[in-house]
Amino acid sequence: MTLQPPKKRTLVEQIVSQLERLIEEGVWPVGERIPAEPELVKELGVSRNTVREAIHALIHAGMLRTRQGDGTYVCSASSLTPVLARRLERSKLSETLEVRAALEQEGARLAALRRTPDDIAQIKAAYEDCRKAEEEGNIACYIRSDYIFHKEVIAAAHNSILSDLYDSISEAVEQVLTYGSGSLDLIRKHSVLNGRLVAAIIAQDGVESMGVVRTYIDATHEMLLEDREGGNELHHE
């Protein structure tokens, strides 16, 4: 194989990189409509065709989606998310759960070691939202609050790759929680474990943090196994 000298990036590639960064950094949040083509052309100082090609590239990557007659919207904060989503569609929920266990256990351990006062405040606030939803018996709200709680724990690990991976499987994580989660008893158990996790992170106990997450995952896994024995498949719908 003959090595080739590096090529300069094309103008379209440079524009794609700029737009992708705006999405990843949240300047253009998921669900928001991006500026119209004429506005982008003016701001970037390039031709309309160049902007159009860049937008099409991000649509193909799964980060943008065009709504006929309504503009182009951000649908993913990372090009990694659509790729993982397609892969997870072919996986068992139990496999997704195992990946989640690996990410969350290491995230909890690192959070206990690296958390800052601001991190603790964010984790506590998310935990209180979980408790409120549990007390009200609002299952749908609890599922969402629980995901945000664990997302805050992952953020406290201060590892950008870990956070990106966790964000990218967020829909699969919520699907796992939704699957068979009609039992308030299970939610109450999860809520107690979340409280223990908060305490472990505050105490900077990495071993306990990992253990609590393992227990949390095992409880959910047991639920999935019970559903399978009841005749339900553990695959993504």
- Tens of pLDDT, residue by residue, the chain (237 residues): 566 555 677 899 999 999 999 998 889 998 899 999 999 999 999 999 999 999 999 998 888 999 988 899 998 877 777 777 777 777 776 777 788 888 999 999 999 999 999 999 999 999 999 999 988 888 888 888 988 999 999 999 999 889 888 877 766 556 555 544 456 777 888 889 999 999 999 999 999 999 999 998 887 777 665 655 444 444 444
Structure tokens at 88: 């997870």
Class of domain 81-229: mainly alpha
Q: What pLDDT sits at residue 124?
A: 97
Structure tokens at 200: 């472990």
What confidence score (pLDDT) does residue 86 get? 73
Across-strand partners of 65? 73
Statement: 11-74 belongs to CATH 1.10.10.10? yes
- Supply the pLDDT for residue 172: 57
What was the pLDDT predicted at 226? 61
- Answer yes or no: are the C-beta atoms of 112 and 206 closer than 8 Å: yes
* In the chain, domain spans: 11-74, 81-229
Identity of residue 135: E
Neighbour tally for 109: CB within 10 Å: 21
Q: Which of 94, 87, 98, 90 lies closest to 228, judged by CA?
A: 94
The per-residue DSSP string of 123-151 comes to HHHHHHHHHHHHHHT-HHHHHHHHHHHHH
User: Which pLDDT does position 117 carry in this prediction?
Assistant: 96
Residue 72's H or E segment, with its range, is strand 71-74
**What is the pTM for the complete model shown?**
0.68
- What region, left, alpha or beta, does residue 140 occupy, with left being phi > 0 and alpha being psi -120 to 50 degrees? alpha
CA distance 94 to 105: 16
Q: Tell me, what's the pLDDT at 72?
A: 95
Helices (H) and strands (E) in the chain, counts: 11, 2
Check residue 42 and give its pLDDT. 93
Asked if residues 147 and 191 have their Cβ atoms less than 8 Å apart, the reply is no
